[in-house]
Each structure stands twice: as C-alpha cells, then as structure tokens.
Chain A
Amino acid sequence: MHAKIESSLPPNPWSAPRGPADPTPVIYDGSRGRLFGLALGRMALTILTLGVGRFWMTTRLRRHYWASIRIDGSPLEYTGRAMEKLIGFLVAVVVLAVYLSLANLTLTFAGLAWLEGNIVGLQLPLLALLPALFWARYRARRYILARTRWRGVRFGLAPGAWGYAWRAMAWWGAAVASLGLLYPLTQHRLARYTTARSYFGDLRFAQEGGAGPLMRSWLWVWLPAAGLGALAAVYAARGEEPGQEAALAPLVLLFIAMGFVRHQVFSFRHLNSLKTLGGKTRFSVSLGFWRVVGIYISGALVIGLGVAATAALSSLAAAALIGDPAALFAALSEGRAPDLTGLLALALLAAAYLPAVAVWSALGHAFLTHPLLKAACAGVLIHDLDAAERARQRAHDEQAEAGGFADALGADLGGAF
C-alpha cells in the first residue's frame, strides 16, 4: 500500500535531505506591479480619510511584504490587524496628550525659571520626547515581531521597553558627548539588547561579536568629518576666510556622505551576520554597497520624475478648472479675502498636490523598499535551519496598543514597516 502511494505521487519537492553544509536561501519574489497598485490605492484611501486609512494601508502592505518572503518553501506571515492599530493609536493619543503637555510645561518652566530662557533651556522639552520615542520604538518592534509567523510559529520580543529607553538615552548621550565618535558603540549595544530579547518560538536570538569592526568602518566617516570640523573651527577662531582649498570641501562632504551609506550597509551586514538563533542557526549576509547606492540613485530618479509628472498634470487640471487666476492673485496680494470662487480655487490648488503625495508614496514602495528588500534577501543565507525547526510555539502577545505610540509620535520603523 505504502509503496503504491509513493509511486503514484509526483516526486516530493522537499525530499532532498539538507545537510548542515547546505545553507538555505531567503527568497523574495514580491511583484513590483502589484505592490505599486496596492500602495497607490491604499495611500489614496489614506488621504481621503484624513489619515485614518493609514492603519489599513500599513497592515495590507506588511501582509504583502511578509508573504513575499519565503524560507525553505514557507512564507512569512503578518497577522496584525488594522483595527487594533487604530485603537492602539487612539489610546496612545490620550496618554501622550497628558504626558507631553505636562512634561513640556514643566520643562519649559524649568528652562524659564532656572536657565533664564537661553537656547539650551528652551530645548529641554525635546528631552521629554526622547525617552518616549525610544520606548515607543521598542514597543512597536515588539508588536511587529509578535504579529510575525513562520510555519505558524510566532516570533516575539520580550518586554524591556523601559530598559531600552534608558540605555538608548545613555548610549546616544555618549555618542553626542563624544561628537559622534562612539556612535558604533551605541549601534552595537542597542542591537545586542534588542536581539537578546528576540525569539522565534521558544528559541532565542543572540548578537555575537564586538563593536570593533563597526568602529573601524565608522572611522572612515568620522575622521574626515572631524578634520573638516576642526579646520572650520581653526579658520573661525582666526577670523580668516578659507582660501582656494575651500573648493575641496564639497568633495570631502561627498566622501563623508558615501562613507555614511557604506557604514550603514556594513553595519547591516556585520550585525546580522553575527546573529544566532537558538545558539545553532546562523546567518550570512552579503549586501553590496554599490548595489544599495545604485538602488537609491535609480529610485530617486524614478520617484522624482513620477512625482514631477503627477504634480504637473494635477496642477494643469486644477488650473483648467480655476480659469483666470489674475483676479485671485490680485485679491491675495492686496491682503483681501478672495470671494467664494476664489476660495474654491485655492482649495483646488492645495488639493492638486495630493495625487503627487500618493504617487510619491507608491513609487517609494515600488522603487526603493521593493528593490532594497529584494537585494537584502538575495544576500542572506541561513546555516543550519534544521536547528530552528526545533522551535516550539510561543504564547500570543496581546500588545494592546499595537505600535500606536510610535505611530502617534511619528517614530514608526520606516514608512513601510
């Protein structure tokens, strides 16, 4: 009986045994066209609903991106819901309105009463926002991981938003105090904190390796920047204008900017290549710097052209509907209120930029996020995935506010994610 079934079945696509020596690739095969249509439609809805639709947009786009990533034949799943995001956002507004108002008032008062209202004193309210931002980012990450599954098994992030917030304050403080020199240490320590609390099922991730390689990569950015800053300070102190050598400054700035992108790509590769899951499963990441630069340049071109074309078309359409703008401009330049048709025309002109916003967002997904994700996935190999199959299911993490704090504070993890 058994033999008969075996023979009647087509060859089992998974039957080839996978040895520890054969790494598993990560497949991303999302369709750019579908993504563009999805993003455009959802952004249009978001605009029409004055922003309320963004929860549905994020949810739908995340479902699309997640499902487009397959590991060993099984797709990632995103199980977050739009309604929980909306409710979480509203809860966050209630809490943050009280917190921000009181914190801003107290800190502004302190700045006025004890720091005599100087510039540093008036920046104090920003300090009230920072811990809230870091806290919210960690919670948002926890929500996303709690709503991500592979083979039905949940990912997760252990509680620790407060610990993350004060560590982030301390490490970013160190980075700022050292004029940026310690930034790689900030990166590494925060990545280690978050990674050590990340799980797939009951298997825990870990961040190995130190900050040394990050530091070496960062010096390519920091040393030229520090040199340039020091030179500028010297000239300022002497009260001299820099001579012909100032012509070199743009070149150095370009070098610094490129170095910064290179460093970001390097840290992505370095940090992710040294993550382990359950002590056995490892990853190797090979994302090329020039690849990323190419994606950004071509993406910027496409987005720029697309947005310009849309803006031109919609302003033409608006202008055609308005008719003669001379009367309107005459009224405005005299400081008079335009009449009703004038007001309508103004509203139409203001609305003409909305299609460009929708196209901007959709092109951003199709020509930046999509190719970046594709390049990043194509460079990932997973070693000893079999060890990860031991993972046992973890409990549902309710996360009632569902990333709402990060959304309200505008600190969500990038546009798409």
Chain B
Amino acid sequence: MTALPQYDLLEAPGRYFDGRSAAPAEVIVKFGDASLILMRMDETPIAHWSLSGLRDLGGGGGSLSLTPDDESDERLTISDADMVAAIRKVCPDLAARPRTARPRWRRALLWGAAALVSVWLIVFHLAPALADRLATLIPPEAEAAMGEGMVDQFARLFASGPPRFCEDAAGDTALARMTARLERKAGAHLPLKVRVLDAPIVNAFALPGGRIILFRGLLRAAESPEAAAGVLAHEIGHVVARDPTRLALRSAGSAGLIGLLLGDFTGATATVALTEALLRSGYQREAEAAADAFATRLLAAEGLPAAPLAGFFLKLREKAGEGGVFNHLSSHPDPAARAAAVGAEDVVGDAPFEPILSDQDWVALRNICR
C-alpha cells in the first residue's frame, strides 16, 4: 500500500494523542512512502504510521479518528476534508474489524464443553442425589407441620367453594381399617393421615407429613375395595419415598440452570419453561413408577391382588384417551404401561384372598361424602 503521487504535497493539521495522557498535541500530517508521517509544528517527525495498519475509530462529524494499529494506545484526529478523503482513498482497510492477536475458538469450545458437562452433571446426577439425601434429613415434626399447613391450600385448588373433607362414622371406620392393614408393612417414617376430599375428580395425592388425600370421585370410580387399596398403596409409596419434599428439593437443585445455559435472549423463555417442565415431569415419572412398584409389593405382602389396580388404570385410560407425544409432558406414565407392569406382579391371581374391606365397609367408604 503506497500513497498516491497526487497526495505528495498534501499536508494537514491534526491532533495527536500519545496514549500516555489525554492531552492533545497539534501536529502536521502528510504522506510518506507507505506511511502517514506525523510531525511537530517545527517539522520534527513524531511518528511514521504504516498505511496498512491504520484503523478508523468511527467517530463521525466529518473528521477522522485513527489508531496506527489495533493494539496501540496512540490516536490521531484529522478534520481537514482533503486529507480525510485522501486517507480514505489510500487505505481501504480503514474500517476493518479489530482483530485479536490469536483467535480463541479452541478456548471457547473447551469452556463450552465444560459448561454443558457441568450443567448435565448437576441436573441429572448431583442435584438429584443430594436432594434424595437431604430429604431424609428433614425432621418428621417439621414435615408434619408443613403438611398440616398445606392441606387446606391444596384442597382449595380442587373445590369450587370452600373445600370439604368428608366425615361419616361408618365411612371413617372403613377408611381406618383399610389404612391400618396397608400401614402395617409399609414402614413409613411417620404415621399416615388419610382423608377424603369432597370433589368429583378421579385422583389421589400424597402431601408432606404422611398426609394422603383421596378424592370422592376416585372412590366412586373404583370397582372394588382392592382397586382403592391399590391406589392408597401407591400414595403410601410416595410417603415412604418422601416424594413431596424430595421432588421439591430436586426441582430447586436444578432450577434456573437451563435458563443459565440459554442466557437472556428473547425467545429463550419459552424454551426454558418447556425444558424445565420436561425435567420436572421426568423426576415425577420416575417417582410414579417407583410408587407403582411399591404398591404391588405392599399388596403382595398383604396377600392382596394387584389385578384390580391394573383394571383401574385401564379404566382411567379409556377416560383420558391416548396421550401420544403429550405423554412426555404429563407427570404420570402411560396408564396402559402402568396396568401391564402392575398386573404382571399380581401374586394372587384367581386364588381366594382375604378382602381388604367387608362389603358393608366398602359401601360405607364409597358413601363417606353423603
């Protein structure tokens, strides 16, 4: 890159900053062979700047602010229109992007891998393991108090009016009998407190503190006391595994980490919400499968059949229809798969067994909300 002959005689004033202080020095600027020459007013040269290294700092207003190269602290500002035009013509690289001495893609890739691995390790291994451990350290009294505070809040979610827990002398006795028989071999860390909520939904929940809530709709939908007992055994499984507190801890341990990875760019929010929902339902499905397995073991230990529970799952499936892709988002596994898994563990079959409730008790329990 050389200066054009037509600019040989061109001289213009400039303001030079030496990079050591912000004080300006008035200079004269002219072209050398392949350089820009900066001279003091008495024509002693201060600097020769290579034309190929010159970079425009981008200031507007008709003047040109230059640096001799990307690393330098020195600056020069020229506002003489002819000189500005000449420099722009002679140096086409003026607006080239600043370059780092060495590109650091390798470091970026290394740290990128480290970031992915650490988030993966924490979300799938460290946080779940730690959460499971911490859940066993929560004092039973604290868990009981927590459950006590949550029952009413929870019930309100499912009732249109003020929530009502069903009470009826005969029904309560029947429920206590069913609970007592299952609780014997369950090995729960605190006493169970089972109640029936007056709501038409076919569902049941386990809250902290050994609290289990059966819905009226579930008791109506169950075709035999053993089916209801199977659902209760499943919920007892959640209590024994401390799922209510364990899953809260697991979610807390991985909360925000996916958002961290995607950063704060618009449009990522939906992706973050979706992945976290997938993650939570992943934890939940794992816990549901474990509770199903627990329920079949408990039923077998009491000499009760698991087939009624399997039948109950199939009935649920008819009501809900097939899940398809949305299954992955739902917290419970596919009912057909659950029914098959539970039914396969049935140890009673067609053999006679001691029913969990007498017909009279079963009728009383189903009508507990009357």
Contacts and interface: CB of A to CB of B under 8 A. Distances in A.
B108 A94 contact: no
B208 A90 contact: no
Interface string A1-18: 110010011101110000
Interface in A62-108: 63-64, 67-68, 70, 73-75, 77, 79, 81, 83-84, 86-87, 89-91, 93-94, 96-98, 100-101, 104-105, 107-108
Number of contact residues on A: which range applies? 35 or more
Contacts of A12: 13, 26
B146 to A, nearest CB: 4
Contacts of A100: 255-257, 260
Contacts of B28: 5, 9
Interface in B193-221: 208
B65 to A, nearest CB: 5
A375 interface: no
Interface residues of B, number: 87
Contact of B22 (A64, A107, A151): A151
A384 interface: no
B296 to A, nearest CB: 28
B interface, over-half SS: mixed
Contact of B265 (A9, A46, A74, A389): A46
A27 B60 CA distance: 10
A29 interface: yes
Contact of B252 (A73, A79, A108): A108
Given A27-B61, A93-B260, A152 B118 contact: no
Contacts of A29: 60-61
A66 to B, nearest CB: 8
A279 interface: no
A292 B78 CA distance: 35
A118 interface: yes
B139 A113 contact: yes
Given A14-B24, A83-B108, A408-B260, A54 B265 contact: yes
B67 interface: yes
Interface in B1-43: 11-13, 15, 17-24, 26, 28, 41-43
Interface of B: 11-13, 15, 17-24, 26, 28, 41-43, 57-61, 63, 65, 67, 72-75, 77, 79-80, 98, 100, 103-105, 107-108, 111-112, 114-115, 118-119, 122, 126-127, 130-131, 134, 137-139, 142-143, 145-146, 149-150, 208, 245, 248-249, 252-257, 259-268, 320-326
20 contacts: A2-B41, A5-B11, A47-B267, A51-B265, A75-B58, A86-B108, A87-B104, A94-B111, A98-B122, A101-B122, A101-B254, A104-B255, A104-B256, A113-B138, A117-B248, A125-B252, A153-B73, A200-B22, A336-B324, A361-B266
Which A-B residue pairs are the 6 nearest by beta carbons? A75-B59, A337-B324, A67-B58, A410-B264, A90-B111, A108-B252
